[in-house]
Homo-oligomer: A and B are copies of this chain.
Amino acid sequence: MTDAPPDLRADARRNRERILQAAVGQFTRHGIDASLEDVARAAGVGAGTLYRHFPSREALIAAALRQGQDRLLAEAARARALPDADAALAAWLASLQDYLRTFHGLPAPVLAAIEQQDSPLALSCEAMAAMTGEFLDRAKREGHARASVETADLFLATLGIAWAVDRAAACGTSTGRVNAILARGYLRDGGDR
């Protein structure tokens, strides 16, 4: 759980951990836009301390997310083990969307991280896109994925749908039905190109 910062003083390490824990709590309760002052307060720490450890909101999000990433990787491994390439891709996309629902509003900073690779989220973001590409490629080879579908586009569409479902949770829309549209389209007939 502790992401073992290199060589911090004991109190610094302790504070860092407290902040992280408080951040997870606040982000879970109030979404990704939770007040950082509140996070500091909940951690029993001054604002300066928070900003020294995590210079930007994105950095804090990235760190708070690190834990859930293990689960995502585990689910990716499970999906990879599926014999059916199409099912594997679908399972991966579902896991990805679950992950993006870790905190309310998460898709926004993740998408933002695509563009500026200096973002602390950029790494995991690229990794997610790469894995999407891996599953998509396999589904093109072994399954029924269209050759014309590109990784970036599918990833973007997935992010967009995760965002929309996340925000419209109240009105009764199911992730499943929306994703069914993404998988098979709103049109009935196939016919590539």
Q: Which residues of A contact B (CB under 8 A)?
A: 86, 89, 108, 111-112, 114-115, 136, 139, 143-146, 148-150, 152-154, 156-157, 159-165, 167-168, 170-174, 177-178, 180-192
Contacts and interface: CB of A to CB of B under 8 A. Distances in A.
Given A156-B178, A163-B163, A187 B144 contact: yes
Nearest to A174: B153
Contacts of A150: 177
A117 to B, nearest CB: 10
B115 A188 contact: no
Contact of A187 (B157, B184, B188): B184
B164 A182 contact: no
Contacts of A174: 153
Given A182-B182, A185-B185, A160 B165 contact: yes
Contacts of A172: 152
A115 B186 contact: no
A2 to B, nearest CB: 33
B164 A111 contact: yes
Contacts of A156: 161, 164-165, 168, 173, 178
Contacts of A157: 160-161, 164, 178, 181-182
